[in-house]
Chains A and B, each alone.
Chain A
Amino acid sequence: MSDALIETLLKAPYVAKFGVRFERKGDELTGVLPYEEHLVGNPLVPALHGGAVGAFMEIVASGALLASQTLVRLPKPIDVAVDYLRPARAADVYARAIIGRSGARVANVRVEAWQGRREAPVATLHGHFLIKPEPVDN
């Protein structure tokens, strides 16, 4: 657990601006992106901006890595691949991450984002993050 870094992550100006928050149960973490008009990408559809949803999933990936282990600094994205499955409507978005592998330097993470129905995700992310775990004393 890296509670102090989770605070740092959520207090970063960009993250705070968009009101992202985490709901935690032990090492399980669900991200919440509360709906605001400034998240809309195309008001004609209307749909949330793909970049906003993608960025939110990156934040949730970092949050999940920090909730699962002790890291000494914030994870840094190396690469991400985002699939957009449905238009994200003008409503709150939720996301949860699955850590595929978390090694000494790099972590592989998948994130799923949904709105009304968990079974109908609006987007998924798959990415690699540079991490720095706390050194283990032997």
Chain B
Amino acid sequence: MPESLQELLNRLAPLIVDGSPHAQALGLALDGLGPGRATMRAPYRKDLIGDPDTGVMHGGVVTALLDHACGVAAFSGLGAKETPATLDLRIDYMRPAEPGHDIIAEAECIRAHGLIAFVRATAHDGDESDPVATASAAFMVTRPSKEAAERVRKAIETGELT
């Protein structure tokens, strides 16, 4: 039986963070992955504080978390073949995240067709109805992403990568 998209996603899930040095540096975690959907978490960390007076994590953590979660949802929405590049990312910062709380981003690919995917995402720190930030992004499979996917395929074929 051919592999379903969910089975492919389950197989690729460990690479979502481990395959990205920046996601690792921020300590991001993948909480959920489905067709066109991704849930990611940025655990609260003192070394990511942006305002030492309040202890609130830097807005850049929210930016990177939302970009990563949106990218994963777009990747999944496009069939989990090539890693798409971000075309644009628009973020509304609703309120500062609570110090000490993890930030969770829920991203959904609302349309994927051909090379383009459109994604919406919400980031919250515990209560989904009281978001920290919302995002809207567009992604595209570019020539470098196709070339990278081709290199991975070749590496798997020749046994360099398993």
Given A51-B65, A58-B60, A87-B85, A44 and B148 contact (CB-CB distance below 8 Å): yes
- Chain A contact patch, size range: 35 or more
Given A13-B52, A87-B85, A44 and B152 contact (CB-CB distance below 8 Å): yes
* A13 & B20 in contact (Cβ 8 Å cutoff): no
Find the B residue at minimum CB distance from A54.
B63
Q: Report the bound CA distance from A50 to B20 in whole Å.
A: 11
Q: Report the bound CA distance from A97 to B152 in whole Å.
A: 38
Which B48-82 residues have a C-beta within 8 angstroms of A?
48-52, 57-61, 63-68, 71
Q: Report the bound CA distance from A101 to B67 in whole Å.
A: 27
Which A25-80 residues have a C-beta within 8 angstroms of B?
37-45, 47-52, 54-56, 58-59, 74, 76-80
CB distance from B149 to the nearest CB of A (A): 8
CB distance from B145 to the nearest CB of A (A): 7
* A50 & B67 in contact (Cβ 8 Å cutoff): yes
Q: Considering only CB atoms and an 8 Å cut-off, how many residues of chain B contact the other chain?
A: 44
* A39 & B21 in contact (Cβ 8 Å cutoff): yes
Q: Report the bound CA distance from A11 to B148 in whole Å.
A: 37
Residues of B within 8 Å of A54, CB to CB, are 60, 63-64, 67, 89
Given A13-B49, A49-B68, A55 and B21 contact (CB-CB distance below 8 Å): no
Residues of A within 8 Å of B145, CB to CB, are 45
Q: Report the bound CA distance from A51 to B148 in whole Å.
A: 20
A51 contact from B24, B47, B63, Cβ within 8 A:
B63
B88 contact from A42, A49, A59, A83, Cβ within 8 A:
A83
CB distance from B87 to the nearest CB of A (A): 6
Residues of A within 8 Å of B86, CB to CB, are 50, 82, 84
Q: Report the bound CA distance from A52 to B86 in whole Å.
A: 12
Q: Report the bound CA distance from A42 to B86 in whole Å.
A: 12
* A41 & B87 in contact (Cβ 8 Å cutoff): no
Q: Mark A77-109, 1 if CB is under 8 A from B, else 0.
A: 111111110010000000000000000000000
Residues of A within 8 Å of B83, CB to CB, are 42, 44-45
Is A12 on the interface with B (CB-CB < 8 A)? yes
Is B111 on the interface with A (CB-CB < 8 A)? no
| B interface residues with partner A (beta carbon < 8 Å) | 19-25, 46-52, 57-61, 63-68, 71, 83, 85-93, 96, 142, 144-145, 148-149, 151-152
| A interface residues with partner B (beta carbon < 8 Å) | 8, 11-15, 17-18, 37-45, 47-52, 54-56, 58-59, 74, 76-84, 87
